[in-house]
Structure 1
Amino acid sequence: MDGNFVISIISIAVEIYIWLIVGRVLLSFLRPRTYHPVFRFIYEITEPVLAPLRRILPPAMNIDFSPLVAIIILEIVKALLISLLRNFI
């Protein structure tokens, strides 16, 4: 398997996950019906990452910063993984 292919897969997967987090943030402003399948899917996919961050970072001025921190962490992890993979290629 080509190393660039693996790097592309990692990059695309992280970008999709980031967009799911952004979608969750946008949906939270709209207050959708929580039983809608799309909302449930986004919630169930993003909650395992956001819940631990929410326990560490309490809301400040009623704003949940866990999505922002999650996106920053995901970008750092993506950069580290890509850097490590490029060293092995």
Structure 2
Amino acid sequence: MGALTEIGNLLIHTVFNLFLIAVLLRLLLQFARADFYNPVSQFLVKVTKPFLQPLRRVIPGFLGIDMAAVVLAVLAQMLAITLLLLMLGYGFANPLYLFMWSVLGCLGIVLNIYFFAILAVIILSWVSPGSYNPFVLLLNQLTEPVMTPFRKMLPSLGGLDLSPILVFLSINVLTIILKHLAAAAMMPMGVVIGI
């Protein structure tokens, strides 16, 4: 791989990774019913609105899920994979494989978002407990729907919350399953963002 190819690979990965995180984070925050007026939420809305607005005219929501955001994330992932495949000299992929790889990549990004969000919540609870920072409040709102079922399963330990351990274990199990599904779908390594 030449230097220009490596630089192009880095730039495509970075730009599309940031865009996919913004779109999927907006979707997850809507799903968690997080504060829409939080400055971080408003930033995500401003970044993704030019891309989501035209899609929303055509694609309605379904059962409270912003299907336009789902379609946008899958299309962005498909575009990134296609650009990377072409740049690396593989040519165009079969559209069915491209779609499967894109869905798996988006699921991988969602798992990564939750992994790092929960890790950040844990660290911030030690460093700055009870903080009213908008970013911290939004992280708590994002992770709470995932943490609550695990908190209900575990008995109370007097202020010690062990539910993140179960959540991390579940995320790692799902990541292993995702990687095996990616291998079964003959996904070329290094071209799908999120896996």
Q: Which residue of 2 aligns with 1:49?
A: 146
SS in structure 2 of the partner of residue 63 of structure 1: coil
Q: Deviations over 1:30-89 (max 9, x none)?
A: 21423x211111011100010111011124363211111101101111221332343234
Q: Which residue of 1 aligns with 2:10?
A: none
Q: Which protein has the larger Cα radius of gyration, Structure 1 or Structure 2?
A: 2
Task: Output the CA distance in 1 between the equivalents of 2:176 and 2:107.
Answer: 10
Task: Output the CA distance in 1 between the equivalents of 2:130 and 2:157.
Answer: 23
Question: What's the Cα RMSD here?
Answer: 2.2
Alignment of 1:87 with 2:184, yes or no, is yes
What TM-score do you get using the length of structure 1 for normalisation?
Answer: 0.78
More helix by share: 1
SS in structure 1 of the partner of residue 155 of structure 2: coil
Alignment of 1:40 with 2:117, yes or no, is no
Task: Output the CA distance in 1 between the equivalents of 2:134 and 2:125.
Answer: 15
SS in structure 1 of the partner of residue 131 of structure 2: coil
Q: 1:73 aligns with which of 163, 167, 170?
A: 170
Task: Output the CA distance in 1 between the equivalents of 2:173 and 2:135.
Answer: 28
What TM-score do you get using the length of structure 2 for normalisation?
Answer: 0.40
Task: Output the CA distance in 1 between the equivalents of 2:141 and 2:106.
Answer: 22
Stretch moving more, 38-47 or 54-63: 54-63
Q: What are structure 1's unaligned runs of at least 5 residues?
A: none
Larger RCO: Structure 1 or Structure 2 (Cα < 8 Å, ≥ 6 residues apart)?
1
Measure how far apart 1:6 and its partner are.
4.1
Q: Which residue of 2 aligns with 1:58?
A: 155
Measure how far apart 1:8 and its partner are.
3.6
Q: 1:31 aligns with which of 129, 146, 154?
A: 129
Q: Which residue of 2 aligns with 1:18?
A: 115
Q: Structure 1 stretches (4+) deviating beyond 6 angstroms? A: none
